[in-house]
Amino acid sequence: MPPPPHAPPEPTPQQAAPKAAPGPGPVTSGQVASAPAATVALPAGTPKQQYEFAFDFLKKQDYPRAESALRQFLQGHPKDPLAGNAQYWLGETYYVRGDFQQAAVEFMAGYKNYPKTNKGPDNLLKLGMSMSKLNQKDGACLALGRIGKDYPDAPDTVLKPAQAERTRLKCKA
């Protein structure tokens, strides 16, 4: 399971993320996610209680149920302050299962739809890492390079792995 979420300062993006990944199999936020393998119903309650319900599946590493619950949360509460976190963790449910194409779609959606949340830089990092796993070096370099530009105050827990990945990929400037 990924490390617990951190709360970097609220960044202000200056440019939009790449619309598609270069190379074979372009990734865009307009793609439709595949149906989850397990369906769960969110309980009645506040958005925070529903988010915590969904997040509990992540803690248990029950990624299909987490996917279902997080997607329902986003459908029911797209403007809630927790929606940006829910979108990021939805991407993680795919990333940890090796579905890097769908992970990239979800991380792109998180960056595009919730750029000012504390998960903005994390979305770009994981978008770049997903694209790298898909052998889409140019798109990965583009996403990873946006982090420092859009989020100059991003925490080292995002900046350091992004720089390490850029170095590994031999990204230009």
DSSP string, the chain: -PPPP---------SPPPSS-SSSS---TTSPPPPPSS--PPPSS-HHHHHHHHHHHHHTT-HHHHHHHHHHHHHH-TTSTTHHHHHHHHHHHHHTTT-HHHHHHHHHHHHHH-TTSTTHHHHHHHHHHHHHHTT-HHHHHHHHHHHHHH-TT--HHHHHHHHHHHHHHT---
pLDDT tens across 20-30, in order?
A: 433 333 344 33
Give domain status of residue 155, yes or no: yes
pLDDT higher than 50, residue 19? no
pLDDT at residue 169, rounded to an integer = 96
Give domain status of residue 100, yes or no: yes
Residue that is written with structure tokens 């969110």 in the block: 42
More confident of the two residues 37 and 85: 85
- Range with the lowest mean pLDDT among 34-38, 50-54, 71-75? 34-38
Give domain status of residue 22, yes or no: no
Can you give the residue range of the structural domain that contains 113? 47-169
Give domain status of residue 110, yes or no: yes
Three-class HEC string of 92-129? HHHHCCCCHHHHHHHHHHHHHHCCCCCCHHHHHHHHHH
pLDDT at residue 155, rounded to an integer = 95
Q: Give the CATH number, domain containing residue 127.
A: 1.25.40.10
pLDDT higher than 50, residue 117? yes
pLDDT at residue 11, rounded to an integer = 34
Quote the number of domains for the chain: 1
pLDDT higher than 50, residue 48? yes
pLDDT at residue 38, rounded to an integer = 77
Give domain status of residue 11, yes or no: no
Give domain status of residue 31, yes or no: no
Q: What is the mean pLDDT of the chain?
A: 84
C-alpha neighbours within 13 Å on the C-beta side of residue 167: 6
pLDDT at residue 37, rounded to an integer = 58
Cβ burial, residue 157 (10 Å; 0-12/13-18/19+): middle
Give domain status of residue 20, yes or no: no
Instruction: Please give the model's pTM, rounded to 2 decimal places.
Output: 0.79
Cβ burial, residue 169 (10 Å; 0-12/13-18/19+): middle
pLDDT tens across 131-154, in order?
A: 999 999 999 999 999 999 999 999
pLDDT higher than 90, residue 52? yes
pLDDT tens across 73-112, in order?
A: 999 999 999 999 999 999 999 999 999 999 999 999 999 9
Q: How far apart are CA 16 and CA 20, in angstroms?
A: 11
Give domain status of residue 2, yes or no: no
